[in-house]
Chains A and B, each alone.
Chain A
Amino acid sequence: MTSPTRPSLDDPALAIPVDRAGVFEPIPMARTERQQEFYSLRDGEMLINLGPQHPSTHGVLRIVLKISGEQVVDLDPVIGYLHRGVEKLCENADYHQAICYTDPLEYLASLFCEWSPVMAFEKLLDVQVPRRAEYIRVLAGELNRVASHTLYVGFFALDLGGITPVLWSYLERDEIVEILAALTGAKLLFNYFRIGGVNGDLNHEFMSRLGDWMSHASRQVEAGTALLNENEILVRRARGIGTLDRDTAMRMAVTGPNLRASGVPWDIRRAHPYSVYPELEFDVPTRSEGDCLARYLLRVDEIKQSLRIIDQCLHQMPDGPIMAKLPRLVRPRPGRAWAAIEGPRGLYGTYAISDGTDQPFRMRIHDPSFVHLQLLSLLVPGNLIADTMAINASLDPVMGGVDR
């Protein structure tokens, strides 16, 4: 029995104002043309979330899948869970500090994230980098590329259901990061490149570890990929899945191995040479199929080319200084510079604007994973839900770079 003095819950004076902005909308209000198309469901279709905490999404990526039965009809990737505002942070740090902010962007290939801003700042400052420093950069960079591609091979197999290859990949990668740790002092976030050179010279431990590894590296690559290349399950799940043709790849602004797997032989190391790459001999492997298997096999070919480059670097390493003469506080003259390099995932670019102070006025960081993630909504529809993982893994996005 309610007493007459007890207030009713329907009393409008007791209503708690609800902040609509804070309420989670499972199906957001359609605002753009694309959202209207995506969030209007036909008979038999439903929406399902993949991620953000899903082991196959390579980080905190959420994909809203529109499915009909077991088939994906459409999908909408939702990103930004790892956004740290690195570009803004770099505008508020001086040029040397900005480099270490870019380091954790792409945590599997940190050296490449340092490389492009360092090159852009050197252009702003008109600094000539000593040749020995350039060789050390290429040497360390190619080692990092091998580490990144090795892990790619393992995770590609893992997402298709094979556990063993990823364990082998980690063994291989561990050896490489130990080598890099001997050189740079860190295993993951190296912070090794400096404006005008590198942080430290080659040392005995690095050379002896590298020599050990080089003696069995190519054999290990062969052993690891022999497990996969002829594997019935992997090949049947990857061949003909997620086919990206040449023109679409160009239209989607794709770069790097994903572009070369579609038959475009565009590698910045050859197309627009930087550092000492013109002095080194290597091939640019391409494949014409453009499917998941081609993207995987292309990375294996690239590992072999990287081993060739490392070998040449060791033989051609010149003597000399490893740093250009620079003041500790740099103030480039006002101007703009763009530097792009070929990383393990594609084009890493930095567009830096200087206003004459010790901090970049604007620093734009272009990351290939961000662009490549758009391909999901192009390649996945029409395939099964399980193929989402295969295609996502074959594109090799790293969410740290996507979200910046």
Chain B
Amino acid sequence: MDAALRARLETRFGELLTGPVRQRHDETEMRIGPGSVPEVLRTLHDEPGLRFTLLADLCGVDTGTDLQVVYHLWSETTNDWLRVVADGLPREAPRVPSATFLWKGAEWLEREAWDMFGIVFEGNRDLRRILMPDDYDSFPLRKDFHLPDDASRSPGGGVRPMERANPPADATADTVRRRSPAG
């Protein structure tokens, strides 16, 4: 953990942070509002004391209530990974400015986040489906998208205690017994 980085981020971004800077293991996490993404990323990328020049990952997250965009960055000025969480995107109209003005390579990562979560990245010039077909109309990684067949929760999921961790709500003692190898 790099305590100096935490202090630097807190003084530099002060009012832009929407939550405390958290640190655990080799990770530092900061939370910002979606509107301040370009400003914060630009500063992190360019400022001499920060120099987070390498984009390791960009992904969407559905917290169940709202959506997030998560950036993982690396800099040679610190030995921590930096996680920037753009928090509080409403489910109905999640919009966040694109990071392609700094990392052109974020284009496909943003397309994937659009494909999976329906997050609109303003300024991405190729925001269309990437993994799912063009005519698909739901966002599969959202929490309200349920798998039609959830193998790990089916009564046939397994007979060993670990595999039976989550018996389905409609399972009775009878169905569970019938599927065990003992008969």
State yes or no: do A and B come from one complex.
yes
Instruction: Say whether B29 contacts A371, CB under 8 Å.
Output: no
Minimal beta-carbon separation of B33 from chain A (angstroms): 19
Instruction: Say whether B165 contacts A351, CB under 8 Å.
Output: no
Q: Quick one: which of A85, A338, A373 has the most chain B CB within 10 A? A: A338
Instruction: Say whether B162 contacts A251, CB under 8 Å.
Output: no
Instruction: Say whether A251 contacts B105, CB under 8 Å.
Output: yes
Q: Which residue of A lies closest to B61 (CB)?
A: A362
CB of A403 closer than 8 Å to a CB of B = yes
Instruction: Say whether B54 contacts A80, CB under 8 Å.
Output: no
| Interface of chain A: mostly helix, strand, loop or mixed | mixed
**Residues of A with C-beta under 8 A to B93:** none
Minimal beta-carbon separation of A23 from chain B (angstroms): 10
* Interface residue stretch chosen among A29-37, A64-72, A235-243: A29-37
- For chain B, the bracket of interface size reads 35 or more
Q: Which parts of B108-148 form the interface with A (CB within 8 Å)?
A: 108-109, 112, 116, 125-135, 140-141, 145, 147
* Interface residue stretch chosen among B4-12, B36-44, B69-77, B173-181: B69-77
CA distance A97 to B163 in the complex (A): 9
CB of A347 closer than 8 Å to a CB of B = yes
> Knowing A34-B126, A340-B56, A362-B62 touch, does A94 contact B72 (C-beta < 8 A)?
no
- Please tell me the number of chain A residues within 8 Å of chain B, measured between CB atoms: 51
Which A residues fall within an 8 A CB radius of B?
21-22, 28, 31-35, 79-80, 83, 85, 87-88, 92-94, 96-97, 123, 250-255, 266, 271-272, 328-329, 335-338, 340, 347, 349, 351, 353, 358-359, 362, 364, 366, 370-371, 373-374, 403-404
Q: Would you mind naming 21 contact pairs between A and B with Cβ atoms under 8 Å apart?
A: A32-B128, A79-B130, A94-B152, A123-B24, A251-B102, A252-B104, A253-B104, A271-B76, A328-B162, A335-B24, A337-B24, A338-B27, A338-B81, A349-B57, A364-B57, A364-B70, A366-B57, A366-B59, A370-B112, A371-B109, A373-B108
